């Protein structure tokens, strides 16, 4: 094998290693972001449930909690879809996402 060919093969191997490293970094970043958004959903849904259980507070406060929850769920679903996960049924069940929150997904305030 010529020296030039050996150098090219070594360069391709290094390039492949660089792509593997980049791929690993991207997967790790996606997983981290997915976890962050999941925690946002959990916190928002817990806050809404706690508000409702307390039976106190204004309609405006509840509306703000609904908006927070729907925004968190929307962001989480987008992140999941970017990771190739398009079936959200178990997420809706596990996080206890209500229909009231689901109906607001993607709503734009004016």
Predicted pLDDT at 23: 74
Instruction: Specify whether the CB–CB gap between 42 and 78 falls below 8 A.
Output: no
How far is it, in rounded angstroms, from Cα 70 to Cα 58? 19
- For the chain of 110 residues, list the mean pLDDT of each consecutive stretch of 10: 64 65 76 91 97 94 96 95 91 96 85
Predicted pLDDT at 11: 65
pTM score, whole prediction: 0.78
Predicted pLDDT at 68: 96
Taking the mean position of all CA atoms in its chain, how far away is CA 6? Answer: 44
């Amino acid at each position: 094998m010529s020296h030039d060919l050996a150098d090219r093969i070594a360069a391709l191997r290094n390039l492949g290693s660089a792509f593997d490293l980049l791929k690993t970094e991207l997967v790790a970043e996606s997983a981290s972001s997915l976890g962050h958004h999941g925690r946002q959903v959990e916190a928002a849904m817990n806050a809404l449930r706690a508000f409702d259980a307390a039976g106190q507070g204004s309609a405006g406060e509840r509306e703000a909690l609904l908006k927070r929850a729907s925004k968190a769920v929307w962001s989480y679903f987008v992140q999941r879809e970017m990771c190739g996960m398009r079936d959200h049924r178990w997420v809706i069940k596990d996080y206890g996402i209500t229909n009231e929150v689901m109906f607001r997904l993607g709503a734009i305030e004016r």
